[in-house]
Amino acid sequence: MNAPLRIGVAGLGTVGGGVVKLLTEHSRLLSVRAGRPIRLVAVSARSRAKKRDFALDGVRWERDPLALAEATDIDVVVELIGGSAGVARRLVQRAIARGKHVVTANKALLAMHGSQIALAAEKRGVAVAFEAAVAGGIPVVKALREGLVGNRVRRLYGILNGTCNYILSTMRETGRDFATVLAEAQQAGYAEADPSFDVDGIDAAHKLAVLTGAAFGAKVNFAGIHVEGIRRVSAMDIAFADELGHRIKLLGLARETRDGIEQRVHPCMVPLAAPIAHIEGVFNAVVVEGDFVGTTMFQGRGAGQGPTASAVVADLVDLARGRVMPAFVVPAERLADRAAAPMDRHVGAYYMRLMVQDQPGVIAAVSSILARHHISLESMLQRGRSPEGAVAVVLTTHSTQEARMRRAAEQIGRLKAVTEPPCLIRIEQF
C-alpha cells in the first residue's frame, strides 16, 4: 500500500471533532477507498484542556496552528477555524506557500478571498478543496466540478441556510411569529446566540458566492450579491403565501444575464409545484439547471458534525487518490472577471402586503401609483373589515422591473392610510 496521506487539523470544534471521529471509526474503509491510509498527525485548537468525546492518542498537539503549515510530516492542512481573516487566512496562505494541500469548510474565507487563494494554490501546484464549505454533506461542489462539468449552467438556486429554513418552516407549521420561533431555535441549538449571520442572509450569501464561482467559472464576488434576511417575514405573510399556493423560503439565486451575473439572497415566494418548496426544517437543497442535463436537485443536511465531517473527508480521499483539480472548475488564471448585474434591473413578479386604514379610496390610490409605474396587478386579497384599525391588503403583480417596484412601494408607503412600510417579497418561477 502507498505511503499514508498525513494531515494536520486546525480547529477541534463541532466539525473538527467529527473529522477525528470519522477518520478513527472508518480508518480501514478509508484506506481501501483511498488506496492508502489517511493519518492524522497533528492538531491545533484553542484549549488543550477542554474535555472532548474523542481520543487524540499518538497525535501531536501544536499550540500555534501555523506550525501545521511548517511541519515537514504533514501533507494536507485541514482548516476548520473559520472567519474570513485572522489566523484562518494566514494558515491557508502559509500552507499553500509551503506546498501543502488545503481542505477547508470556511465559506467566509472563500467568499472574500477565494479567487486569490485558488490562484496561489495553482501556482504552487497544490489543491484547495472545500466541499464542506457549502451545504454540509450535500456533494454539490463535486457535482459542479465533475458530474455537471459538461454543461453550461443556466441558473442555480437553493436553500443554503438551515437555521432560516427551520424558522420559516416552524412559523408556517405553528403560526407563531419570527421573534418567538427564533428564541425557540436558539434554545434548541438551531440558531446561534447572535443569529445575525444566519437570519440576515450573510451565511447564505457566503455560500452563494462560492457556488457561483464554481458554476459560472467566474471570480468570486461576494460584494456583488444583493442580500436580504428574514426578519421582516411575518406569520401573516406565511399564511397569505399558503393561500396563494406558495411557500416562503430564503433562497440564494445566481444566473447569467446581459448585465452580468445576477446574485441575490432574499425571501422568495416559491410555488408549491416546485420541489424545493417542500424542503423543510434544517435541511438544505441546491438546484442546478444545465443546458444539457436539465434540472438537477441535491438535498440533505446542510450543517452538523456528521454531514460536514463527511464532506471534509471526501476531499481528503480525493487528495489521497491524487486528484488535484482547480478549485472553481476552471484554472484560476482563467476565471472570468464578470460584472455584477444591478439589482435594480431584475425583472420578476412581486408580492406586496400593505397594512392600511379601512376607508374608501385607499385601493384606488394604491392602484393609481402602480399604474403610473407601469405595474400590472395579477391579484388582490383583503381579509376582514376593521373601521377603527389597520387591515391587511395583499397584491401580487405581473413581471416588472425591480426599480419600478421599489419606487412604487416607497410612494405607497407615504400614503396617509398606509400604517407601516409595505412588505415586498419576490415571486420566483421555477
State percent of the chain over pLDDT 90: 88
* Strand partners for 158: 252, 286
pLDDT interval class at 226 (50, 70, 90): very high
- Please give the pLDDT value at position 425: 98
CA-wise closest residue to 40 among 48, 408, 244, 26? 26
**What's the mean pLDDT when you consider all of the chain?**
94
Q: Is residue 59 within 8 Å of residue 78, measured between CB atoms?
A: no
Kindly tell me the sign of the dihedral angle through the C-alpha atoms of 307, 310, 314, 319. Answer: positive
pLDDT of 319 reads 97
Render pLDDT for 168-222 as a digit per residue (tens, 0 to 9): 999 999 999 999 999 998 988 888 889 999 999 999 999 999 999 999 999 999 9
Alpha helices in 139-225 (DSSP H): 140-142, 162-174, 178-188, 196-199, 202-216
Give the residue extent of every domain in the chain. 5-133, 140-302+327-343, 346-427
CB atoms closer than 10 angstroms to residue 191: 21
CA distances from 258 to 225, 243, 341, 345 (A): 16, 35, 8, 10
C-alpha cell at 295: 434540472
- Average confidence (pLDDT) over 142-158: 96
Quick one: average pLDDT of 41-45? 96
- Is residue 351 within 8 A of residue 373, CB to CB? The reply is no
Is residue 423 over pLDDT 90?
Answer: yes
Determine the average pLDDT of the residues in 71-88: 95
pLDDT, position 387: 59
Residue 1's pLDDT band (cuts 50, 70, 90): low
Whether residue 241 has pLDDT greater than 70: yes
Q: What percent of the chain has pLDDT over 70?
A: 99
Indicate the CATH number of 140-302+327-343 among 3.90.1010.10, 1.10.510.10, 3.30.360.10, 3.30.420.40: 3.30.360.10
The pLDDT-based confidence of 55 (bands split at 50, 70, 90) is confident
pLDDT confidence band for 401 (50 / 70 / 90) = very high
pLDDT at 2: 84
Using the predicted structure, report yes or no on whether residue 75 has a pLDDT greater than 90: yes
Grade residue 47 by pLDDT with cuts at 50, 70 and 90. confident
Nearest to 252 by CA among 221, 192, 299, 211: 211
Average pLDDT over residues 66-90: 96
Distance separating alpha carbons of residues 327 and 419, to the nearest angstrom: 50
Above 90 in pLDDT, residue 124?
Answer: yes
Instruction: Tell me which residues are annotated as active site.
Output: 207
**346-427 has the same fold as 140-302+327-343:** no
Report the CATH fold assignment for 5-133. Rossmann fold (3.40.50)
pLDDT digits (tens, 9 = 90+) for 246-272: 999 999 999 999 999 999 999 999 999
Q: Does domain 346-427 have CATH number 3.30.70.260?
A: yes
The three three-digit cell numbers of residue 159, written as one number = 436553500
Distance CA 58, CA 24 (A): 12
* H-state helical runs in 6-106: 14-25, 27-34, 66-70, 86-97
Are the C-beta atoms of residues 41 and 71 closer than 8 Å to each other? yes
Mean pLDDT of 350-372: 94
Checking if the pLDDT of 385 tops 70, the result is no
| pLDDT band per the 50, 70, 90 thresholds, residue 384 | low
Write down the pLDDT at residue 287. Answer: 98
* pLDDT digit string, tens, across residues 326-346: 999 999 999 999 999 999 999
- Residue 48's pLDDT band, with cuts at 50, 70 and 90, is confident
Compute CA 22 distance to the chain's CA centroid, rounded to the nearest angstrom: 25
